Each structure stands twice: as structure tokens, then as C-alpha cells.
Amino acid sequence: MLRSRYSFLLASLIFLGPAVAATATEISIDQWSLGTVVDVRGVRDSDHSFVPMNPFSAEQFAQIDASTAHSLLSAHWDGAGNFDFLVTGDHVAAGHPQMLVTRSSGTIYITPSLNSLLSIDILYDYSLGSGMREARVKGAVADSEGLVYNAEVIRDTLSSPSTGQITVDSPPIPLNAGTQYALVYLLRLMSFSGSPSSLSQGEGFIRLELVPIPEPSTSAMILSAGLFTIRRGRATSPRAFFQTPD
């Protein structure tokens, strides 16, 4: 279901060519931790990727009994300063008397060499089981001084419909050349009660896209040709402020 529904997004990131070291002329992916986890009160099954490669694609899966987490990941960046990252997540969370978590989450440490704009797009469809349940998404950016942008949306059975869709469409978020940023993402289901046979389900994607800001002369040329379009708008130490979210 996940593969067919979001295969067009993954296809858009496919880069035909050999894997190379994880740096490029205009951008540096310094480190990342990309994970897929099922956790039942500290007992967990997990699958992680820690080594940035360009291009990158991976499939991750974790399971404890009926609860599962499945992620498909893809990334590509180039010498012109462009970076594109996509993760799709498919989660099932059984009821649990205390706490159960299924999630796709990660942190990417990135240093652009050019002043750039980052966009964060999130879509997550959820259906929550009986009892106290929660669906949560997060897309955030931090530098050494703290949060630059943070979008976190929670839907729970106490205050929201049990079935719905969460979307985040960020404005362009300015990133400065030579500054390291932590990009954090999260798709998650949680159970705090409910029968083990009552399952919550969630599926969706997060896409992070970084593009360099054109130089004034280049922008003027593009504008005069009528080809320049502006993406959406809005915005708010990496290691000190962000770990991979739970």
C-alpha cells in the first residue's frame, strides 16, 4: 500500500549513478541518524542508517507482535547546492496498558556552502484505535543557537477525531552558508491504553528540499524571462537542541 501510493515521490529522487562520498562541492551532509522503531516500554526492535551516501536509498522495518514500522528512504544532493530527502512511513500500533510507540524519525546534520532555502512538506493519514492513542508529526530545524523552525502537530483520541490527515507545508526557511543545521523529522503513533487487538494505523511522508538562493544577477535574468516562481512562505546546537526524536 505504501509503495504504490508514494512510489511517484520515491521515483522523483532516483539518481542514476554510482554512490560517492557524502560531501559535494556546495553542500556537506556531516552526519545523520535515520531510524525506524517499535518500542514497548523500553523493549524495542529498530532499524537504522548512520552513514550518509549520495545517492541514498534504504528500506527499514521493525516489529514487535502486531505493531510494525516500515520506512522507505531516499536522498540525493549535488554540487550546485541542491538537497532532496524523502521518507515514507507505514505504522501499526497495538493497544497497550502503559506505552507503545511505532515511528519513523531522524536527524540530518547539514552545512550549506551557499545561502539556501529549505522547504518541509509532511502528509500523514491516521486511524486511531480505541483507548488513549496519538498520532504525531514533526519537522524542525535548529542551529547552534536554538530553533530556527518547528512544526509539530498532534492528534489524539481525547481531543481530535480518531481518523484524519495531518499536513505541514512550510514556508521557505532561510539557511545561511557555512552554518551547520540539524534537520529533524518524525512520523509516530503512540498507544497509552486499549486492547492489543485494537490497532492504530498511519501512513505518510516527509520531504525536505533545499535549494540555493540565486545571486541577484541570476534572479534578474530569470525574472526577465518570466520563468521564476517562488515557493511557499513561513519560518521560526544542532546537537545541543536536537537528538533523534522519540
Q: How confident is the model at residue 216 (pLDDT cuts 50, 70, 90)?
A: low
- pLDDT value for 246: 54
Q: How confident is the model at residue 214 (pLDDT cuts 50, 70, 90)?
A: confident
Q: Which residues contact 106 (CB under 8 A, 6 or more apart)?
A: 32, 33, 34, 35, 87, 184, 185, 244
Residue 62 in contact with residue 90, Cβ under 8 Å? no
- pLDDT value for 245: 56
How far is CA 90 from each of CA 38, 73, 94, 224, rounded to the nearest angstrom?
12, 12, 14, 44
Beta bridge mates, 188: 103, 136
pLDDT in tens, 169-211: 999 999 999 999 999 999 999 999 999 999 999 999 999 999 9
Quote the strand ranges of the chain, DSSP E. 23-24, 27-40, 43-49, 56-64, 67-77, 83-94, 100-112, 116-127, 133-143, 146-156, 163-169, 173-175, 181-191, 199-212
- Mean pLDDT of all residues belonging to the chain: 84
Residue 118 in contact with residue 208, Cβ under 8 Å? yes
Q: What is the mean pLDDT of residues 120-136?
A: 98
pLDDT in tens, 64-106: 999 999 999 999 999 999 999 999 999 999 999 989 999 999 9
Residue 70 in contact with residue 36, Cβ under 8 Å? yes
> Taking the model in full, what pTM does it have?
0.81
- pLDDT value for 239: 55
Q: What is the mean pLDDT of residues 117-125?
A: 98
Structure-model confidence comparison of residues 2 and 52, the more confident one:
52
Closest residue by Cα to residue 173 from 138, 203, 209: 209
d(CA 70, CA 2): 9
Q: What percent of the chain has pLDDT over 70?
A: 76
